[in-house]
Amino acid sequence: MISVILPTLDAERELAATLTALVPASIAGVVREVIIVDGGSNDATLKIADDAGSKILSCAKGRGAQLAKGAGAAVGPWLLFLHADTVLEPCWCAQASSFMERMDKRDLARQGAAAFRFALDDEGFTPRFVEHMVGLRSTVLKMPYGDQGLLISKRLYEEIGGYKLLPLMEDVELVRRIGAKRLHMLPAKALTSANRYVSEGYGARIRRNLTCLGMYYAGVTPEKIAQYYERGSNEKKR
């Protein structure tokens, strides 16, 4: 039923765990295919994807373009967009199946999309605080980010125009078009790598994310937001 689409770029550290979490759903017949859309990896990402039996596509670097290409190649009636460093907990399959069954009984105008509960694979107060704030953003504002996954029927995805070819903020832009009333939060955890938070510092990472969001709502182009984002990443690497 589901075509899982993962954009990758040098994702060898996390990809195996992400793919392994999809195996039970594949055996159960819920996941029909896994599509890896690679943006030019120089590590073992493609070997890991190939060993797992994934369909592999190549694309210019840029998450929006990668996601859009994967969706265009998908054959399943449902699409699950997932980041390469996000591991779904086992109960996701049953919850997704129940959600899809409910949506399939509705006409297109009443269909919705779903995301999962954000979690970080790190210990301590700060990651729990981040999870709590993301939970509030997701439930109150109905604004899940891409690292929470997005489960949507291909019909609805195409109806709203799909992912735009944006270098950044492609997840926020699509969620806005889906609309708060059509977004559902599933309780299964989407456990995401905390490596970026740890390497950059939680405070710096949170400030940069909020700044990017503020720039987006202020009308700054995604290209300029991406430049700011990349500049911050490069400064942390020095």
Same domain flag for 75 and 119: yes
pLDDT band at residue 234 under the 50/70/90 scheme:
low
Buried b (16+ CB within 10 A) or exposed e, 123-158: eeebbeebbeebeeebeeebbbbbbbbbbbbbebbe
Residues 187-229 pLDDT 10s: 999 999 999 999 999 999 999 999 999 999 999 998 899 999 8
Domain harbouring 68, CATH code: 3.90.550.10
Q: Are the C-beta atoms of residues 151 and 114 closer than 8 Å to each other? A: yes
* Number of domain units in the chain: 2
Nearest CA to 151 out of 44, 30, 43, 53 is that of 30
Same domain flag for 227 and 184: no
Residue 233 has pLDDT above 80, yes or no: no
Same domain flag for 119 and 14: yes
Q: How far apart are CA 77 and CA 158, in angstroms?
A: 11
Q: Whole-model pTM?
A: 0.94
Task: Kindly state the tokens that stand for 62.
Answer: 């840029």
DSSP 128: H
Question: What does the pLDDT average to over 89-101?
Answer: 97
Which range marks the domain in which residue 19 is found? 2-193
Q: Provide the mean pLDDT of the chain.
A: 94
Same domain flag for 146 and 218: no
Same domain flag for 226 and 173: no
